[in-house]
């Protein structure tokens, strides 16, 4: 009994240390990451890992029903911003914010969102300035960590940011609200403004990449159904630079927190464009019927003339 407890505790602390102790590899002076993450476990052995390059040449065409973002319009309850040593993360008390539709097979409840600088996903090998991950879990599971054990248990929506000359008002609010927690991992602060997820979405919500992948941080669980919108949102270079003053848990500036591109292997990468219309076969029939009627009318007019 005693021996079993010791083994259990040893295993528990080993696992926990393993997860807590990871870090991003250094960036070389030329801006390229120095080497692989070497995070072990599923991060090293998995075959369905994220992020991937969203290559249009490799993608197959998809059409899905529209997303239902209705609940995204409600104001988030007590949003808390945390410097977790790997990113700036915003969470809220589990509330009525969820996403469905868009080809997802369930309803996914909002848990938290966080940023990566630079972007983790690339589009045709082009990297973006920043990437927001909005993390949800399948409502059939009680918690995010429980859902992380199931294929498609987690749905992450990725939003890319590109550099423009116009400051992004949401990013500005976030940076202003959280600047006092940047200097040490573990600090948190309440977001002081109204936070509405819908305002963070890009204008075009019908063009996105869809694939089945993983969490991009240890334990890299292969539980994520990914949606990455193609339409990128603008931020200024000055706003981007401010993220880099976030300090990690060893007290260093977190100059970047993105993972290397992972191989797609045999997975389908879907490029979704437009809305699936189950009646399109019928529409074609009615279109043909209209043509017929118009032809008849023209024939009739022709006859009169
Ligand atoms: C937020 O910070 C306070 C200390 O300032 C700490 O007691 C609390 O546990 C933190 N909450 C979270 C969720 O990190
Ligand atoms: Zn992420």
Handedness of CA 79, 199, 102, 271 (dihedral sign): negative
Under DSSP, the state recorded for 248 is -
Q: What is the pLDDT of residues 100-124, one digit of tens each?
A: 999 999 999 999 999 999 999 999 9
CATH of the domain at 41: 3.10.200.10
From the list 23, 86, 116, 121, the catalytic residue is: 86
The answer to whether residue 263 is domain-embedded is yes
Cα of 80 from ligand 1 centre, angstroms: 10
Task: Calculate mean pLDDT across residues 46-64.
Answer: 96
Taking CA atoms only, the protein residue closest to ligand 1 atom 14 is 188
The answer to whether residue 267 is domain-embedded is yes
21 has pLDDT over 50: yes
Domain with 243, as residue range(s), is 36-279
Q: What is the pLDDT of residues 252-298, one digit of tens each?
A: 999 999 999 999 999 999 999 988 877 665 555 555 555 555 555 55
Under DSSP, the state recorded for 35 is S
Taking CA atoms only, the protein residue closest to ligand 1 atom 2 is 188
The answer to whether residue 284 is domain-embedded is no
Q: What is the pLDDT of residues 115-170, one digit of tens each?
A: 999 999 999 999 999 999 999 999 999 999 999 999 999 999 999 999 999 999 99
The answer to whether residue 293 is domain-embedded is no
How many domains, in total, are found in the chain?
A: 1
The answer to whether residue 198 is domain-embedded is yes
The answer to whether residue 185 is domain-embedded is yes
Q: Using 50, 70 and 90 to split pLDDT, how confident is the model at 7?
A: very low
The answer to whether residue 265 is domain-embedded is yes
pTM of the model: 0.86
Closest by Cα among 113, 104, 129 to 243: 129
pLDDT, position 17: 39
8 has pLDDT over 60: no
Q: What is the pLDDT of residues 221-247, one digit of tens each?
A: 999 999 999 999 999 999 999 999 999
Mean pLDDT over each residue of the chain, to the nearest integer: 88
Q: Using the structure block, give the residue that is written with the tokens 């940011």.
A: 161
Closest ligand 1 atom, residue 187 Cα:
2
Cβ neighbors of 242 (< 8 A, separation 6 or more) are 175, 179
The answer to whether residue 11 is domain-embedded is no
Tell me the three state secondary structure of residue 116: strand
What is the C-alpha to C-alpha distance for residues 215 and 112, in angstroms, rounded to an integer? 13
pLDDT, position 29: 81
């Amino acid at each position: 009994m005693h021996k079993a407890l010791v083994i259990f505790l040893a295993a528990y602390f080993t696992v926990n240390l393993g997860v807590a102790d990871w870090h991003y590899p250094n960036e070389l002076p030329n801006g390229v990451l120095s080497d692989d993450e070497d995070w072990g476990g599923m991060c090293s052995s998995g075959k369905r890992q994220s992020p991937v390059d969203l290559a249009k040449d490799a993608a197959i065409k998809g059409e899905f029903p529209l997303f239902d973002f209705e609940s995204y319009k409600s104001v988030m309850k007590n949003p808390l911003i945390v410097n977790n040593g790997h990113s700036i993360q915003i969470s809220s008390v589990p509330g009525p914010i969820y996403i469905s539709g868009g080809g997802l097979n369930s309803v996914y409840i909002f848990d938290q969102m966080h940023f990566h600088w630079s972007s983790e996903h690339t589009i045709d090998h082009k990297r973006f300035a920043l990437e927001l991950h909005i993390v949800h879990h399948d409502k059939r599971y009680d918690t995010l960590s429980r859902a992380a054990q199931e294929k498609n248990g987690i749905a992450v929506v990725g939003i890319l940011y590109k550099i423009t000359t116009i400051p992004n008002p949401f990013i500005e609010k976030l940076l202003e609200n959280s600047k006092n927690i940047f200097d040490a991992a573990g600090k948190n602060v309440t977001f002081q403004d109204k936070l509405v997820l819908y305002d963070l979405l890009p204008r075009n919500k019908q063009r996105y990449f869809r694939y089945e992948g993983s969490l991009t941080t240890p334990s890299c669980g292969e539980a994520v159904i990914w949606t990455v919108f193609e339409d990128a949102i603008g931020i200024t270079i000055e706003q981007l630079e401010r993220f880099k003053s976030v300090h990690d848990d060893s007290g260093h500036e977190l100059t970047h927190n993105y993972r290397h591109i992972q191989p797609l292997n045999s997975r389908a990468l879907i490029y979704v464009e437009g809305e699936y219309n189950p009646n399109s076969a019928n529409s074609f029939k009615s279109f043909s019927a209209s043509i017929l009627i118009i032809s008849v009318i023209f024939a009739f007019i022709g006859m009169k003339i």
